[in-house]
Structures are given as structure tokens and as C-alpha cells.
A = this chain, B = another copy of it.
Amino acid sequence: MLKDLTKEELRQEALRLRAEYDKTRELGLKLDISRGKPSKEQLALSMDLLNVLDSSSDMISEDGFDTRNYGCLTGIAEGKRLMADLMDVRPDQVIVFDGSSLNIMYDTVQKCMAHGVMGHTPWQKLPEVKFLCPVPGYDRHFAVTEAFGVTMLNIPMKEDGPDMDLVEKYVSEDPAVKGIWCVPKYGNPAGTVYSDEVVRRFANLKPAAPDFRIFWDNAYNVHHLDFEKQRQILNILDEAEKAGNPDIVYVFGSFSKITFPGSSVSGLASSKANLEDIAGNMKYQTIGHNKIMQLMHARYFPDREAILAHMKKHAAIMKPKFDAVEEILSKELGGLGIADWSKPDGGYFISFNTMEGCAKTVVAMMKEAGVTMTGAGATYPYHKDPEDRNIRIAPSFATLEEVREAIRIFTVVVRLASVEKLLSE
């Protein structure tokens, strides 16, 4: 344990680490482990998608729509089946959208704000709207609600999901609480998988606000790192229906991290009543989404097995990077008592916690050494990590060698920052 060292030992260690850090800075590196972007090798896996359609293709959908023309607001039949296969729901529970689930989530919040949920008062007309934000969480979720002036309340994440005692208390007592951001499986950033109990407690919430909705961003449903250790979660739509709460949740999914990010197909799954409410507002915004992309994806992924076979190829590229991070972190930081980190079975991120008050320093020092990381604080609403501890590691985009190099430097920086922190106390 680092804290058991004497001041003099710490000073020696600081000198040694500082020298190593300075040497690294002189290398003029340019590495980036900041965003959850697929690597070139992963993108190459989907190039055959571009062979699916050509000038001789039949462009009529299974339900008879000419995919080349206007219309079909909620998606063609095979587009709904495709999203249902991905999201573990039924095709009739789906509206198909364009290439980004972030866009659906923004638009859904926007419609709640401007038009209200199922005839309830539009949120923008209320004195205050609050969202629960499990932390650490996904920065772009928090940015959406911040953009609309929503008050965001931190909910601590536990091993198996958000602190449900706190969620239940807020949701049942405060009618201003209108929503919660969830990534239920391989969550961003800690890779947390919600337990059956957590999912059931979500499904059984008794909200004070009749227009409270769970924003269930199932972004990583099939993004296993190890197909031998596939984790499953309960189906929130089924559980909500059983609980007599069929309308409580909007589920989001996307092919962005399966085929081409931003240029794929995404979807929203929910109850019939919610889908009708959403489509009723959506019809002013669009005549229909990109049905060519729907057709292309649906023919490329004829069933769930085809999706999973494709995801195994992603895992083969991703897992060595996650293994490398774990190996280096364990070797260089294990047992020092200055950090802990997640060991996810899927998703795109590793959540790393420094000693209190060190995260910002570490990220800044990494930048100086030529390694871009997600900004410290980004995993919290308003970019405010109250303990300045959490750092998100995103190893997907860089090459395996770059990941190893970046994490090696990271361990030096974390140790240096920790030693200097201990010295300053």
C-alpha cells in the first residue's frame, strides 16, 4: 500500500516517477483513448453491408412498401424485426429510426418537453423538471437533459445497478422527477449489468408523476467481450407489463456499434400507447426515416443469430484490448491502495477511480504526455465529479499496441499523482 510509505520514501518515489513521466512527455506521443469509437478493424467487418443492395435489387419491403419512396413512418416490417432481434423485443413494440439512438433520445426528451407525454402538461410548462442520473454515467445523456434545462440528481451506482432505494424514494415522492437515464447492460462507463432484482424494481416503480418515464438505453445488449460469459438481463418491457406499468419505459437500441456509427439504423421499443403517442408527434417531423438503410441492414442480418455471429468478430478485436488494460492496471497498480477499476464483460468502457481529488490532475497530465482521455468529470452531470475520482477508459479505437502504451503511461501518471497527493497531505 502506497500510504504505508514514509514521507521520504514517497519523495523518492515521486522523483523517480516524475523522471519517467518527463521522459514520456519528450516522446511527443499522440494517442487517444477518449471516445467509444469502433476501430478500423471493426468497421471493416461490415464492409459487405455495402454489397447487399445494388441497381438490380428488389427494393420492396416484406410489407409492400417501396423503400425508395416517401412513407412508412414507423419502419418497414423487416426493419422492425431487425431492431426486435437486436433489442430482445417484439417487432410490434418497435419504431425504427435513423442512424443514431442519441438522436432518438434527444428527440424523445424534446417531445416530452414541447408536447408532453400522452396528453399530460408539456414539461417545459412546469416550474422544474428533474431527471435521476446514475453516476458515473454517459456524458451525452447528461448533455441532452442539461440542454433542456432539466435538473439532474446523482444516483450512486452499485455493483448490480443504481441505488434502487434512492430511486424509489425520489420517483415515488417527487412529481417533478420525470425520468431516469439507464444503461442496463455493460453500462457506460463501468460495464455494470443490472440484476434481475434491479430490473424488477424499475418495472414496479410507483411514480408520483404519471408521465414519469425510464430512458432505458440498451446500447450494448449484444456487445459481449467474451461469448462464453454472455450476461443477460430481464426484459424490462415484459416486467413492466407484468407489474401493471406497461407505459413506464422507453427502450433504445442502435446498430451504430455493430455496423457504421451514425450511418446505421436505430430504434425505440415501448408499449403500444407510448408508440402511438410518439408517432403522433413524430409525424410533424418526418414522413419516414431512411428505409434503404433499414432494408440493407435487415437483409444483411436476417435473424438474431446473424447479429450475434457478427458481434463475435467484434469481440475478437475488442477483448485483447480490454485484457491488456486489465493486465497492465493489475500489474502496475494492483495492491497499492490508490485506485480501483471495473472489469467489464461487455460494452466499450472501463471505469477507473483514482484517490479522491486526483482525476482531473491525471487526465491533464495524460494530455501533456500526448494521451487524450475523456475529460475528468464527464461521467457526472454538469461535469462535476464530487470526489474528482472517476476516469473513463475507452480502449476500442486505438490499436492494441497503442492501448498498451497509453495504459502503461496512465499507470505512471496515476502513481505519480497519488504520491504527490499523499505528500501534500
Binding site for B on A (CB under 8 A): 35, 37-38, 40, 43, 46-48, 50-51, 53-57, 59, 66-71, 98-100, 102-103, 106-107, 110, 113-115, 124, 140, 143-144, 146-148, 256, 260-263, 281, 284-293
- CB distance A284 to B103 under 8 Å? no
In the assembled complex, how far is the CB of residue A363 from the closest CB belonging to chain B, in whole angstroms?
21
Q: How many angstroms from the CA of A286 to the CA of B104 in the assembled complex?
A: 9
- CB distance B106 to A286 under 8 Å? yes
- CB distance B284 to A68 under 8 Å? no
11 A–B contacts, CB within 8 A, in A order: A35-B70, A43-B69, A48-B55, A50-B57, A68-B260, A68-B263, A69-B260, A106-B284, A114-B147, A262-B291, A263-B292
- CB distance A284 to B55 under 8 Å? no
- CB distance A70 to B262 under 8 Å? yes
Q: How many angstroms from the CA of A388 to the CA of B71 in the assembled complex?
A: 28
**Residue from A48, A68, A110 whose CB has the most chain B CB atoms within 10 Å:** A68
- CB distance B124 to A114 under 8 Å? yes
- CB distance A148 to B114 under 8 Å? yes
Q: How many angstroms from the CA of A37 to the CA of B50 in the assembled complex?
A: 27
Q: How many angstroms from the CA of A103 to the CA of B283 in the assembled complex?
A: 10
- CB distance A55 to B47 under 8 Å? yes
- CB distance B284 to A262 under 8 Å? no
In the assembled complex, how far is the CB of residue A34 from the closest CB belonging to chain B, in whole angstroms?
12
- CB distance A51 to B51 under 8 Å? no
